[in-house]
Structure 1
């Protein structure tokens, strides 16, 4: 980092601090602290202030402090920075640091594909610029300032993923980030339970323009009618993307388990991942590349080299040799339908199987949305393994179509693992998809590690 304790105090309007020592790290997890760190004791199930001593032992030399000062550590080597609200001070410091480094900022939101798009965008822009991106899923009101404060001082383009589950959250994140360019990947059904309708989800996602520069760029899907009336009053440049439609239009040439080749403006491009839906994500990265002045060759090279964050459409091998497509970080009906369709189109050596877990936070129409997944399964799958209470609706739909299935309740994860382990053969290919809260990652891990 490129901050001193004195500078941090000045940025937060804290008086009576005289400490020129440099801060090399900002952390809210005391276990991650190394030398010369600023500790951020955030509120939570256990108040961060209770970990002050552990932070000091690991190398913290300064910390924000919102409790009474007589409770603060009294050590000569530790500078206490008193603030009224640790979370707000943390966010304020992130704004200061962003303004100091002055990178161009790219912001990405959407109901699905945010992380994949972030990874693709970083791979493209890194061909010409020094980039830094959101790590993992640090995409909320704490994760975004954390990302900013971990940005190297020589960063030229900062790529921020922005997540939400309530209205107003993206507006807040966009105000913190002040993007030069932004994108909405897709308007799906995630968080219907909180937002009530896809129309409200579209409005919430469009909050990304709150901090977008007036001369900035916004990329939106060409096939999303809900966004059309919402973007008409905007002053920013609006570009659309899609498969054979939009300002950035792609045609899929070839799709296999390991890569997808498509054409944009008579140029063939390849991404090392499955799925036409990922071509749409790649088009966003393509659009950002164009906006920031990269050549077509640079964009193509970046897309060909992209490495996706773990658990996003990740091919693995079970202990017996079966192929596993793990896509278990999140799920909504749009995303699940897309990956089921893509998996169904693959030329596979043996049986085509799917393990599907509940999609959470879908509101009162959840059961109907789960049942609708039968349209994407039909006769393409040899057997489907269902896990969770909401999947009862899909069970009934599959039964009515005589599609083979096995059903497991929420408390039967061990039975699900045992069943899959017993029935998978070395030539099978198994897709696993469900909301992160259903814990399918444990199923994936068990299949990979069995008998090891």
Structure 2
């Protein structure tokens, strides 16, 4: 188990230790939740909607061994190890940067409007062919989650894969400068968080911040068919760029694509005789795999080894996950996140699969689209093929736009729109779904369609 002394932590964060009698305390983990602590925990009282310093007594009762502190030291608990710092969040980030340099693994930073988590999981699988890896877990991809991920890294880690999320400008820059990646990956430029950036141009600018911390000999990997990224990389040295895509203009591209209900197979230009099979459906996932293969190449991993690992990789829960339903029906759960691009991509895939039962689609609102929300929800409606979908269930205020766009294409008995309380929707679905049916559930996390998934699971 990783252990740090208070002196090491104080040195890394420019902090001052109080309660000198306890300087020999050993720290083995970090927590910013006073309810989630164990012996050896350093409590980090963050200041957000509530001031984490208010929970210091709870943290101590729950087993904290020490804490950062940025308020008046006279307010700190007595006879308890405290490291006084200027800012607890900044200290958390400084400590993570110090520890990252101490362990000195190869660092991969991954951002993008969609596909970050899938690409992270694929990259982790590829790099595990040669290295001991550590990766972002869940949605710990922001200014708090990324340093926490680093500090959770075992001391013998050889490669760390860090997902970098954002909702505002300059957030990716902060994460990149903290992590100093050897390789940076941009999966795509879509519409996620367009509410805060105004346009895809603004999103592209924000995603390109990932190169701000890139090591001097680092490499940027991105989809070469995205004009917004091509424009923004025009001034970069060619030796620092690797591209993937669908045409022979890119460094790596796919051929001989075959999509099945639960897997996707393809070949690549650099090894055309080799068939690579992903254990997940959807042609769009090939792009994520190409990015992961390019990362592997940069770190000396053969394409054959990458292919073997990709065939076995595990996707993070709630992302394009097949689950058995309450009556034997098959649920395709993709309800953790959504953007117009990802929703259209999964709709196109779902419409094409073969099944002996009905195809039922459940869509919830896509959030954080700002003034473009109505326009972008209409664009989703254009990807709904009434000839390929037997039942369409829509949830949320914005999905009312989709409902109005497509309702005339469906038998009135085969389309429903629900608001607020999910129970009527769950009741309708449990009555409608038959044992041989397949059901797609896709939505932004904030709509909590995952609650519906739980009600429909076996």
- Identify the TM-score tier after normalising by the shorter chain: over 0.9
Residues 252 and 60 (structure 1), Cα distance of their counterparts in 2 relative to 1, 3 Å cut: farther
Q: 1:407 aligns with which of 416, 433, 451?
A: 416
Paired residues of 1:35 and 1:60 also in contact (CA < 8 A):
yes
Instruction: Compute the displacement of 1:55 (Å).
Output: 2.0
Partner of 2:122: 120
Q: Name the SS for the 1:105 alignment partner.
A: strand
Within a 5 Å distance, the mapping from 1:201-212 to structure 2 comes to: 201-212=203-214
Q: 1:109 aligns with which of 71, 96, 111?
A: 111
Taking the aligned partners of 2:125 and 2:344, their CA distance within structure 1 comes to 27
Does residue 22 in structure 1 map to residue 26 in structure 2? Answer: yes
Instruction: Compute the displacement of 1:176 (Å).
Output: 0.7
Paired residues of 1:408 and 1:415 also in contact (CA < 8 A):
no
Q: 1:317 aligns with which of 324, 343, 346?
A: 324
Partner of 1:240: 243
Partner of 1:132: 134
* TM-score normalised by length of structure 1: 0.96
- The superposition leaves residues 128-170 of structure 1 with CA deviations (integer Å, 9 ceiling, x where unpaired) of 1011001111000000110111111111111100001111111
Taking the aligned partners of 2:142 and 2:312, their CA distance within structure 1 comes to 28
Paired residues of 1:244 and 1:251 also in contact (CA < 8 A):
no
Does residue 150 in structure 1 map to residue 152 in structure 2? Answer: yes
Partner of 2:454: 445
Q: Name the SS for the 1:210 alignment partner.
A: helix
Paired residues of 2:17 and 2:84 also in contact (CA < 8 A):
no
Taking the aligned partners of 1:58 and 1:91, their CA distance within structure 2 comes to 24
* TM-score normalised by length of structure 2: 0.94
Partner of 1:388: 396
Unaligned stretches of 5+ in structure 1? none
Instruction: Compute the displacement of 1:72 (Å).
Output: 1.3
Taking the aligned partners of 2:68 and 2:419, their CA distance within structure 1 comes to 42
Within a 5 Å distance, the mapping from 1:187-336 to structure 2 comes to: 187-235=189-237, 237-245=240-248, 246-264=250-268, 265-266=271-272, 267-336=274-343
Does residue 433 in structure 1 map to residue 442 in structure 2? Answer: yes
Within a 5 Å distance, the mapping from 1:55-66 to structure 2 comes to: 55-66=59-70
Taking the aligned partners of 1:70 and 1:15, their CA distance within structure 2 comes to 14
Q: Name the SS for the 1:214 alignment partner.
A: coil
Unaligned stretches of 5+ in structure 2? none
Does residue 37 in structure 1 map to residue 32 in structure 2? Answer: no
Paired residues of 2:108 and 2:162 also in contact (CA < 8 A):
yes
Taking the aligned partners of 2:122 and 2:441, their CA distance within structure 1 comes to 23
Q: Name the SS for the 1:52 alignment partner.
A: helix
Partner of 1:180: 182
Instruction: Compute the displacement of 1:326 (Å).
Output: 0.5
Instruction: Compute the displacement of 1:424 (Å).
Output: 0.4
Taking the aligned partners of 1:98 and 1:23, their CA distance within structure 2 comes to 16
Taking the aligned partners of 1:206 and 1:150, their CA distance within structure 2 comes to 27
Paired residues of 1:2 and 1:153 also in contact (CA < 8 A):
no
Taking the aligned partners of 1:381 and 1:422, their CA distance within structure 2 comes to 17
Taking the aligned partners of 1:20 and 1:114, their CA distance within structure 2 comes to 41
Instruction: Compute the displacement of 1:403 (Å).
Output: 5.8
- The superposition leaves residues 16-61 of structure 1 with CA deviations (integer Å, 9 ceiling, x where unpaired) of 6652332111111122211111111111333222222222233322
Instruction: Compute the displacement of 1:84 (Å).
Output: 1.8
Instruction: Compute the displacement of 1:14 (Å).
Output: 2.6
Paired residues of 1:367 and 1:391 also in contact (CA < 8 A):
no
Instruction: Compute the displacement of 1:427 (Å).
Output: 0.9
Q: Name the SS for the 1:56 alignment partner.
A: helix
Instruction: Compute the displacement of 1:15 (Å).
Output: 3.9
